[in-house]
């Protein structure tokens, strides 16, 4: 081999090494310190489980009624516009009138208190959670399952799946002990008083919470931010995770973007990693790009100026309702932006949707919920590279037709032990929208996990 050949070989090796270095996941961050996120100090609060009941004062409800009754006139929508500019004010007025005159909080409060609820202080944060321990025959095994919501959701999303998950199912020899917390700063879980409570730190909080409840190992399920937090848990603490079921298995690696670029240039390239029946969820790339831009404005605002936005949302229940309900329209089915009614009553009732909004309103948690975006989408967290790390625990991914989509060939770049992959017609709030389908898929996945774990 001549000098030129040796030079070309060395350059090729060097370039190949650099490409591999760029495409490989970064090193795992060092072990997290157990930061005290609340007021006081670690000696000031004991880790005690306390029963919890939702009980909103009459003063809060009177104030809400006043604000609903005395709002300024709605700005009429443009001619021929349904939900394309955001929440249609004709629809919003209909919902607000229902809220003012028909929605019965005291009735819904009893409904929300139907499951056993508790609080526990972990690292200075009072965490609110539902905890159901089913009473079952001795031949039925009880397995612990941590379920986590996202934004703009709450524990309310899971009320229809909890009876299914905690009731023995025909042909199955196990049932779930379910733990459903509010993320810190959401609902009845207290927020951090100092910056830095990112998904990896929240994962540590929930690991410590589960251990305090007596569960050293457990199954996890999450969508939206619940998926992000629990992915951090699976990466950082795989020894405690028996299996991970997610309805938002996204991949955000450089390798994924390289594959997407190649697929957009070479029409024959996608066939090995995108099922033909799913092409319209990936291509044309340009259309998918503009879909993302249209639906992600909230993410940029919440990631950069959460307190500014929160000031408005904490002041106006109607503004808060418009902001959240708009996500339940396009998040359930993006074509519903072309409907006058936003499609909201296809799967939900106004009581269902207002329950979720009320949890944000009565806890004054709009601002603190938005802050999670700022604590996640920043340089410090991105440089940790946790979401680019492979996940080795047994994993199940359920993809819904109107939600984030990752092709088969990209999923396996991150989820190395993917043992259950399913596709359903549905949207982003899957447990809320399709509780029977959602719960069955969790059972099916954990049934496979149990086989693996009992070998």
| Residue 56 CB burial class (10 angstroms; 0-12, 13-18, ≥19) | middle
Q: Which residues contact 184 (CB under 8 A, 6 or more apart)?
A: 37, 125, 127, 190, 191, 192, 197, 202, 205
Distance in angstroms (rounded) separating the CA atoms of residues 249 and 202 = 19
Tokens 């000098």 belong to residue: 3
Six token digits for residue 40: 């006081």
Output the CA torsion 78→83→84→89 (10° steps): 40
Question: Closest Cα to residue 361, out of 51, 38, 65?
Answer: 65
CA-based nearest residue to 425, from 352, 341, 338, 347? 347
Find tokens 């690696």 and name the residue: 253
DSSP string, 361-405: HHTT-HHHHHHHHHTTSSHHHHHH-GGGS-B-S-EEEEEETTS--
- Give the residue carrying structure tokens 């603490």: 237
Pairing of strands 241-246, 125-132: unpaired
Nearest to 439 by CA among 127, 160, 139, 47: 160
The torsion of the CA quartet 159, 165, 166, 167, rounded to 10 degrees, works out to 110
Residue 380 φ/ψ region, left for φ over 0, alpha for ψ in the -120 to 50 degree band, beta for the rest:
alpha
Residues marked as catalytic: 224, 373, 428
Cα radius of gyration (the chain): 23
Helix (H, G, I), strand (E, B) or coil at 34: coil
Dist CA 141 CA 394 (whole Å):
19
Instruction: Let me know if 423 is exposed, middle or buried by CB neighbors in 10 A (0-12, 13-18, 19+).
Output: middle
Token pair listed for 126: 């009072």
Rounded CA-CA distance 154/386 in Å is 25
d(C-alpha 75, C-alpha 88), whole Å: 9
CA distances from 101 to 12, 97, 105, 362 (A): 72, 6, 11, 18
């Amino acid at each position: 081999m001549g000098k030129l050949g040796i030079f070309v070989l060395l350059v090729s090796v060097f370039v190949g090494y650099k490409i591999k270095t760029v495409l490989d996941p970064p090193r795992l961050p060092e072990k997290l310190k157990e930061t005290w996120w609340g007021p006081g100090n670690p000696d000031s609060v004991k880790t005690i489980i306390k029963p919890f009941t939702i009980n909103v004062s009459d003063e809060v409800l009177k104030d809400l009624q006043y604000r609903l009754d005395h709002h300024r006139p709605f700005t009429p929508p443009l001619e021929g516009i349904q939900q394309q500019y955001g929440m249609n004010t004709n629809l919003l007025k209909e919902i607000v009138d229902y809220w003012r005159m028909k929605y019965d909080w005291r009735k819904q409060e009893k409904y929300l208190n139907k499951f056993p609820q508790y609080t526990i202080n972990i690292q200075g944060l009072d965490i609110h959670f539902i905890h159901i321990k089913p009473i079952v025959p001795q031949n039925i095994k009880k397995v612990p399952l941590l379920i986590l919501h996202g934004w703009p959701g709450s524990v309310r999303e899971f009320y229809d799946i909890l009876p299914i998950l905690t009731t023995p199912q025909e042909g199955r020899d196990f049932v779930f002990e379910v733990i459903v917390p509010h993320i810190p700063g959401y609902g009845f879980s207290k927020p951090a008083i100092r910056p830095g409570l990112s998904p990896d730190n929240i994962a540590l909080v929930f690991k410590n919470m589960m251990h305090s409840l007596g569960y050293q190992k457990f199954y996890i399920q999450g969508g939206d931010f619940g998926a992000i937090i629990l992915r951090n848990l699976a990466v950082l603490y795989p020894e405690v995770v028996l299996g991970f079921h997610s309805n938002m298995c996204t991949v955000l690696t450089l390798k994924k973007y390289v594959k997407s670029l190649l697929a957009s240039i070479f029409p024959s390239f996608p066939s090995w990693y995108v099922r033909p029946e799913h092409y319209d969820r990936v291509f044309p790339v340009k259309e998918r790009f503009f879909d993302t831009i249209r639906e992600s404005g909230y993410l940029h605002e919440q990631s950069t100026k959460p307190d500014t936005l929160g000031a408005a949302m904490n002041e106006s229940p109607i503004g808060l309702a418009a902001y959240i309900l708009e996500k339940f329209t396009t998040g359930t089915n993006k074509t519903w932006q072309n409907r006058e009614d936003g499609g909201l009553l296809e799967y939900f009732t106004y009581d269902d949707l207002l329950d979720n909004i009320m949890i944000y309103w009565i806890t004054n948690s709009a601002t603190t919920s938005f802050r999670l975006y700022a604590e996640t989408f920043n340089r410090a967290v991105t440089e940790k590279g946790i979401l680019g790390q492979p996940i080795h625990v047994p994993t199940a991914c359920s993809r819904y037709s109107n939600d984030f989509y990752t092709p088969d060939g990209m999923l396996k770049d991150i989820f190395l032990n993917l043992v259950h992959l399913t596709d359903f017609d549905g949207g982003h709030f899957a447990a809320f929208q399709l509780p029977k389908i959602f719960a069955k898929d969790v059972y099916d996945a954990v049934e496979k996990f149990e086989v693996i774990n009992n070998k």
